[in-house]
Amino acid sequence: MPAAEPPLAEKRPHLLQVHDVTWTDDYFWLRDREDPAVKGYLETENAYLESTLAPLEELRRSLVAEMKARILEEDTSVPYRKGDWVYYSREVAGKDHALICRKRWRSDVPTDLLAPAAPGEEVIVTDLNERAAGDAAFSFGGGAVSPDGRLYAWKENHDGTDLYTLRVRDLVTGEILPDEIEGTMFDEAPVWGIDNRTLFYTLGDETDRPWHVMRHVLGAKTEEAKRLFEEKDPRFSVSIDSTKSGRFLLITSSSKDTSETSRLPLSGEAGLPEVFLPRKEGIRNSYADCGDEWFILSNEGAVNGRVFRAPLDHIGRESWVEVLPGDEAIAYESIDAFATRVVIGARKAGVPGFFLLDPDKGTTKWVTSPSAGGWVSGEPSPEYHAKAQRFSYETMIQPYTVAEVDLETAEIRILKEKTPPPGYDPSKYRVERTFATASDGTKIPIWLLLAADHPRDGSGGILLDGYGAYGIASDPWFDSNVLSLVDRGIGFAIAQIRGGGEFGRPWYEAGKLARKETTFTDYIACAEHLVAEGYASTKTLCGSGASAGGLLAGAVLNRRPDLFGAFIANVPFVDVLNTMLDASLPLTTGEYDEWGDPASARDVFDRIRAYSPYDNVRTQAYPALLVLAGWNDHRVPYWEAAKWVAKLRAHNTGSVPPILHTAFETGHGGASGRYRELDEIAMQYAFVLKSLGFL
C-alpha cells in the first residue's frame, strides 16, 4: 500500500530492573498520556493510516453501504414477563441504539407476546439514542425494574471506560429522579430491594477493581450510601446479582480460580451479608434458591463441576447432598432456579446447552440448539413461577432464533426466528468443521463459513479468528457483516484453541499460566492446517485477535510471520510483562491467576518474558498488520498497541509497515451503535481485501 513514509517514534531509553534482570524500554514514554508528544505521535499514526488506506476509500464506502443494507431496520425482540408487564427492545430505522419498552402482560401465548403494542399502550422505559446523545462510545450498562414495576434503574457510560453512572426513572411520570451515582463498576445491572427504594451497586478501587458493595436509599445523598461489603484481596473482584426468586442478594468475590459468595435477604431490613462458605483456594461455588432449598454448583472434587442441594436455612457444608456427580464429558458452567426446576448451563462434549433438573425426582433433561454447530445462550426469564426457560441459538448461516423450553416436558417451542438480512441467500454459503492436530496430538476444532464454491487449491482467502483465554468459548455465530468478505472470496474461520472453555475446565487450564504457550502453538497448528488443506495459502491467510486474542496475535507473529499474508490486532494485550509488573494498572492483580505474577518469582518472570509480544519483537519480515487501540481503554491501555507498533517499525524488514489507529473517543469496545461501528469494520475488511490480493 503506497503512502507517505511511516512515522518513527522517538526512542527514549527507560531502564527497568526486576529480580536480577536489567533491560531498556525505548518506548516506555508513550505511557504518559499527559505528555503532548504522546497524543501528537498517535495523531501522526492516524494520519499515516488514512494516507495508506486512502486508495481504498471507495471500497470502504461500498462495504459500509452493503453492510448497512443487511441491517433489519425495524425489529422487536421477544418480550419477556416481569410482574404485570412484558419488556422488550425495539430497533428504529436510522437509529444506532434500541428503545427499551414495555407493555401490559396479557398472557404467555406467543401471539399475545409478539403482537405489537396497541396505540397508547407502549411505555418507553428508556430511549438509548437519547441517552447516547451522539457519543461514539456510549454503552448501556444494564437496567433493573423495581419489584412494584414503577421505577427503572440503569447504568450508562459515554467515554469507553468501565465506569458507569447509575440513574433512576419513574416509569409512571417519566421523570428522571435526582438520584445519580457516578463511578459504578462495569456493565452489571443494579439490584433492587423489595422495598422499591433500596438500590445495590458496586464501586471500584483506584485500579478499577470492583471491591465495595453499596446500598443506596432513594432520596438520600449518594455520599450517605452504606458500604455493605469490602473485598480486600487485590486478586478478587466483586459482582452482585439477585436470585430469580427475588429473595436474596448474592455477593460474589472471585478470582480466576476461586470464589466466595455471601447472601443478604432483599426484604429491606438492615443487616450484613452472610457468607455461605469461607473461600478455599481453587474452589468455585455458585448458588440458586429453589423452593426451600439451595442448589450449589461446585468444582469441589470434580474439575468440570458437580451439583449439590442443601436446606435453605442450613447451608453448612455438612448439609450438602450430591445431586449430579462430576462427568469428564460434561462441563457445568452456571446455575439458576425457578420455583419448580433448576437450570444448569453446561457444555456436553463441547456442545453448549443446559440441563433442566427436577428437584423432586433428581432427574435431568438436556436442552441444546435444534441446529448443530452454533451458539446457545440463555434469554431473560425473570419470573420465578414461569413454566418455561427462554434461550436463543444461531449458526454461521442461520440468524438468531429465540425459543423456549417447557420446564416439565422439555418440549421446545420456537418463538421468533430473526428475519434474515435483506437479500441473504443461505444456499450461497457452506459451513464446515475441520480439525487441526496440535503439537501434542490434540485435535483442535476449526469452524469455517465459506462461499459455496470456495476453492481448495489455496487460491481462496481465510480470516482466522482466535482468542484462547479466560475459559471463554469461541462458538460459531451469525454475522451478516462478514458476508462482505465471504462474497469476495475470503472465508471466515474460528479456531477453538486451548485457553478457551469449549471443552470445559481442562481445555482452559491447558492454555493458561505455565501452559500458555499451548494457546499459541494451537493457533499456529490451525493456520498450518488451513494452508495444508488448501483453504488458503500463506499469502491469502489473515489472522485476527482482539484483547487477549491480541496477545495471541503478537506471540504468533513473532514465531511464524511467514504463515500469514496479513493480521489484525484489535486493542491487543501485547505489553504483557510491563503490565503484569505494574499492580497500579486496572485489572493487573486480578490477572495473576491467568498469566502469573512476574514480580513474585523469577521463573514466572522468565516465562512471561519469553512470550510477551512487545518484548520479543525481532528483526524479521512481518506481514501487513493493522492495529487498533482506544484512548480511553482501561482494560488494555492504548500504549500497549502504540509501543508495539513503534518497536515493530524499527525491526520489520518486510515491505509493508504496520499501521495503527487510535480512536480518541472510545475505549475497549470500540465504536458503539449498529451504524456507527460499520466504519470501523469496513476499514478492517478493506485492509484484509487489499493485503490478501482480493481487489
Distance CA 245, CA 605 (A): 47
Please, what sign has the CA dihedral across residues 600, 605, 611, 614?
Answer: positive
Distance CA 471, CA 651 (A): 34
Q: What H or E segment, with its residue span, contains residue 544?
A: strand 541-546
Q: Are 313 and 350 in contact (CB under 8 A)?
A: no
Question: Does residue 547 have an active-site annotation?
Answer: yes
Question: Does residue 112 have an active-site annotation?
Answer: no
Distance CA 455, CA 433 (A): 16
Residue found by looking up cell 448458588 in the block: 287
Q: What is the grid cell recorded at 117?
A: 403494542
Please, what sign has the CA dihedral across residues 268, 140, 334, 397?
Answer: positive
- Please report, as a single letter, which amino acid is at residue 358: D
Decide: residue 422, CB within 10 A, 0-12 exposed, 13-18 middle, 19+ buried. exposed
Q: How many helices (H) and strands (E) are present in the chain, helices listed first?
A: 13, 39
Q: Count CB atoms within 10 A of the CB of residue 646.
A: 24
Alpha helices in 291-380 (DSSP H): none
Please, what sign has the CA dihedral across residues 85, 87, 90, 95?
Answer: positive
Q: Are 184 and 165 in contact (CB under 8 A)?
A: yes
β-pairing verdict for 566-570 and 541-546: parallel
SS3 for 500?
strand
Alpha helices in 115-207 (DSSP H): 128-132
Catalytic residue among 179, 544, 633, 634: 633
Distance CA 271, CA 258 (A): 26
Task: Give a three-class secondary structure readout of 205-268.
Answer: CCCCCEEEEEEEECCCCHHHCEEEEECCCCCCEEEEEECCCCCEEEEEEECCCCEEEEEEECCC
Which region, left, alpha or beta, applies to residue 39 given φ > 0 means left and ψ of -120 to 50 means alpha?
alpha
Catalytic residue among 544, 668, 672, 691: 668
Distance CA 656, CA 175 (A): 56
**Across 78-160, where does the E strand assignment appear?**
80-82, 85-91, 99-104, 123-127, 139-145, 151-157
Rg of the chain over Cα atoms, rounded to whole angstroms, equals: 25
For 458, list phi and psi in degrees, rounded to 5: 90, -5
Closest CA to 518 of 508, 527, 504, 531: 508
**C-alpha to C-alpha distances, 521 to 190, 470, 511, 517, 609, nearest whole angstrom:** 41, 17, 10, 6, 17
β-pairing verdict for 401-406 and 412-417: antiparallel
Distance CA 130, CA 109 (A): 33
Give 65's contacts (C-beta < 8 A, 6+ positions apart).
none
Give 292's contacts (C-beta < 8 A, 6+ positions apart).
311, 312, 313
Decide: residue 413, CB within 10 A, 0-12 exposed, 13-18 middle, 19+ buried. exposed
Distance CA 156, CA 176 (A): 14
Q: What H or E segment, with its residue span, contains residue 345?
A: strand 342-348
Burial 500-517 (b: 16+ CB within 10 A, else e): bbbbbbebbbbbbbeebe
Catalytic residue among 547, 612, 672, 691: 547
Question: Does residue 633 have an active-site annotation?
Answer: yes
Q: Enumerate the active-site residues.
A: 547, 633, 668
